[in-house]
Structure 1
Amino acid sequence: MLLRLLLLLLLTPPALAQTPADTARLRRHLVALTTTPEPRNYQHLASLNQAADYIAAELATAGGRPTAQCYEVQGQTYRNVLASFGPDTGPRLIIGAHYDVCGEQPGADDNGTGVAALLELARLLGQQPALPYRIDLVAYTLEEPPFFRTPQMGSYVHAKSLHTAGVPVRGMVALEMLGYYDERKGSQNYPLGPLKWVYGSRGNYVTVAQKFGNGRFGRQFARRYKAAAALPVKRFKAPAWLPGIDFSDHLNYWQFGYPAVLLTDTAFYRNKSYHEPTDTLARLDMRRLGLAVDALLAVVLAG
């Protein structure tokens, strides 16, 4: 057994170093996002821009190559905030989260947790001496109604720009609500009732959701994420028409032929404060949010 272990250590190539996610930093990001003067939605452009400025500064501090993707909607200028890590050229992995909220609410889970995870991932990527491929982190604007499912979504603008430029994309991961967990029986709902018998009734896991026909990237990501995670993970694949399967920014990458997955705590199927004023930081689990980031980093570093 000892000889086998020594051989394994000698023959296994050195992995990139992984540092655990910092829950204090995750909390700090959430405080910054949820305490803007007005809710960070399209009707309060100053607060939306304050959130964008914060995200851009954090991405730059992490060591990313930051850029902004600005576009006009109804006479106002909105922007996606981007940062690249790793080589300048070659196929890239897109990881994104929207930073706007729906209506007059703080949006701690929706989607403060997705953005906080994105920023912590950026910090951890910036600590790597080298990355084997390009990773683009994108904070999207205008995901929420009234722009959802329209070309005004920030993720549509970004996905279209990649397609127009002929950029090769390995795949895309949408981070959408990753901080709410509930161990009580019956706390988890589903778009189809019988799914509870397959996936359980406790809202204590993260889901990797994707549509049928999503390709090798989706299968590989889901398998690797589940293997790396220190919290329960459910892999869910369904037709794109099933309610919830395309309820985030990944849907726009599907439209342009890119494989994409959704990483989520299942949103309104679990969190009853979805799109409500009660979607606050106090209801979230920083430890498990950190574990979700740890598993994501492990998958990214695995190549």
Structure 2
Amino acid sequence: MKKIFHICLLVFSICVYSQNNSIDSLELTNKTRIEVDLLKITQTPKSRNYQNIKSLNTVADYIKSELIKACDSVIFQPYKVNGAIYKNVIGSIGMEHKKRIIIGAHYDVCGNQQGADDNASGVVGLLELARLLSKEQLKYRIDFVAYTLEEPPFFRTKQMGSYVHANYLHTNNIPVKGMICLEMIGYYSQKKGSQNYPIQEMAIEYGTIADFITVVQSEKSGAFGKQIELLMKQQHVIKTNSFKGSSLVAGVDYSDHLNYWNFDYPAVMITNTAFYRNKNYHTKDDTIETLDIDKMRAVIKQLYLTIKNLK
């Protein structure tokens, strides 16, 4: 009886530890700081779309001010479109290394909306990763790039901020290990039927509950994409699925990683699958209140551990 009691106590202790450990595991990220970032990015007087350059500049200035706190170098990458100046924000760490990893997220929105998931969530991830990774001894230079003009009417044009940046790397023969695109990492649901897919058969393999993050690849993601996928799955901070497919599948190339593929750089997209899950996509309902901050923190921590362990 005494032996059974000790076994039960041990099992209970393990369960309590596992639950506490699951909660404590997110302490690496700063919830308050993430919430402040979300507010600063989404609460501009006018939506941060291409027509409201003042709002775009306000957000760009905020991103720069936060990257300055973590990075060795921070610059604007300005360029002209239709007579107006738009700008990417680039923060760099590990500048003693030649080969780079690019971590990117766009900060503009489509139309008049907050764009909390699309894509303030990705930019917040970018900022928090810069803070965390700046404390590590890494094997690569990392450039954290916040892009402008990802959204229509500039998507798939040379006016995209990510095209401008990828073209700069290509023109200057800068060696790149790979690019990680953060595109919508904030929306989740525990309801059955909350997750859709471009191919119906995927629901059988992945399920219909929108509780995971996805590593999206194509044949151009190469060994870098496979390494990111494996490392993401090994961390066990948040449920992680992967999808590798052609750009003919709707959504596979729907973000800034597209332009790195076009210049033959290996790249992946980290996403909650956007409109296949979040019905607030490109609407005024895409607000901070719809985001799951702890799930976001889990994605950020998992990415941090993944990048930290890249070979």
TM-score normalised over the length of structure 2: 0.90
Q: Which residue number corresponds to residue 157 of structure 2?
A: 150
**Match 1:78 to one of 71, 86, 92:** 86
**Match 2:193 to one of 166, 186, 193:** 186
Q: Deviations over 1:44-64 (max 9, x none)?
A: 000000000000000001234
1:90 equivalent in alignment to 2:132: no
Q: Which residue number corresponds to residue 26 of structure 1?
A: 34
1:265 equivalent in alignment to 2:272: yes
1:55 equivalent in alignment to 2:47: no
Q: Deviations over 1:53-81 (max 9, x none)?
A: 00000000123410111000000000000
- Segments of 4+ moved more than 3 angstroms: none
Q: Which has the larger radius of gyration?
A: 2
What is the distance in 1 between the residues matched to 2:72 and 2:116? 25
Q: Which residue number corresponds to residue 13 of structure 1?
A: none
Q: 1:212 is aligned with what amino acid?
A: E
TM-aligned CA deviation for residue 250 of structure 1: 0.1
Q: 1:61 is aligned with what amino acid?
A: K
TM-aligned CA deviation for residue 22 of structure 1: 1.1
Q: Which residue number corresponds to residue 237 of structure 1?
A: 244
What is the distance in 2 between the residues matched to 1:229 and 1:81? 31
What is the distance in 2 between the residues matched to 1:229 and 1:135? 24
**Match 1:135 to one of 132, 139, 142:** 142
Contact 1:19–1:124 (CA under 8 A) maintained in structure 2: no
What is the distance in 2 between the residues matched to 1:88 and 1:58? 22
Structure 2 gap ranges (5+): 1-25
Contact 1:209–1:236 (CA under 8 A) maintained in structure 2: yes
1:208 equivalent in alignment to 2:215: yes
Q: 2:162 is aligned with what amino acid?
A: S
Q: Deviations over 1:179-215 (max 9, x none)?
A: 0000111000011111111111000000000113421
What is the distance in 1 between the residues matched to 2:97 and 2:290? 41
What is the distance in 1 between the residues matched to 2:221 and 2:105? 20
Contact 2:213–2:239 (CA under 8 A) maintained in structure 1: yes
TM-score normalised over the length of structure 1: 0.92
Q: 1:70 is aligned with what amino acid?
A: P
TM-aligned CA deviation for residue 19 of structure 1: 6.9
Q: Which residue number corresponds to residue 19 of structure 2?
A: none
What is the distance in 1 between the residues matched to 2:69 and 2:236? 27
Q: Which residue number corresponds to residue 160 of structure 1?
A: 167
Higher share in helix: 2
1:250 equivalent in alignment to 2:275: no
Contact 1:62–1:126 (CA under 8 A) maintained in structure 2: yes
TM-aligned CA deviation for residue 104 of structure 1: 0.2
Identity of aligned residues (%): 50
Q: Which residue number corresponds to residue 279 of structure 1?
A: 286
* Matched residues, number: 285
Q: Which residue number corresponds to residue 174 of structure 1?
A: 181
TM-aligned CA deviation for residue 127 of structure 1: 2.4
TM-aligned CA deviation for residue 294 of structure 1: 0.5
Deviates more, 1:160-169 or 1:60-69: 60-69
What is the distance in 1 between the residues matched to 2:166 and 2:150? 13
What is the distance in 1 between the residues matched to 2:71 and 2:159? 29
Contact 2:72–2:95 (CA under 8 A) maintained in structure 1: no
TM-aligned CA deviation for residue 25 of structure 1: 1.1
1:105 equivalent in alignment to 2:110: no
Q: Which residue number corresponds to residue 295 of structure 1?
A: 302
TM-aligned CA deviation for residue 172 of structure 1: 0.3
| SS of the residue 2:86 aligns to | strand
What is the distance in 1 between the residues matched to 2:164 and 2:236? 32
Q: 1:156 is aligned with what amino acid?
A: Y
Q: 1:289 is aligned with what amino acid?
A: M
What is the distance in 2 between the residues matched to 1:125 and 1:214? 23
Contact 1:229–1:291 (CA under 8 A) maintained in structure 2: no
Contact 1:87–1:132 (CA under 8 A) maintained in structure 2: no
What is the distance in 2 between the residues matched to 1:153 and 1:97? 12
Q: Which residue number corresponds to residue 198 of structure 1?
A: 205
What is the distance in 2 between the residues matched to 1:139 and 1:127? 20
| SS of the residue 2:255 aligns to | coil
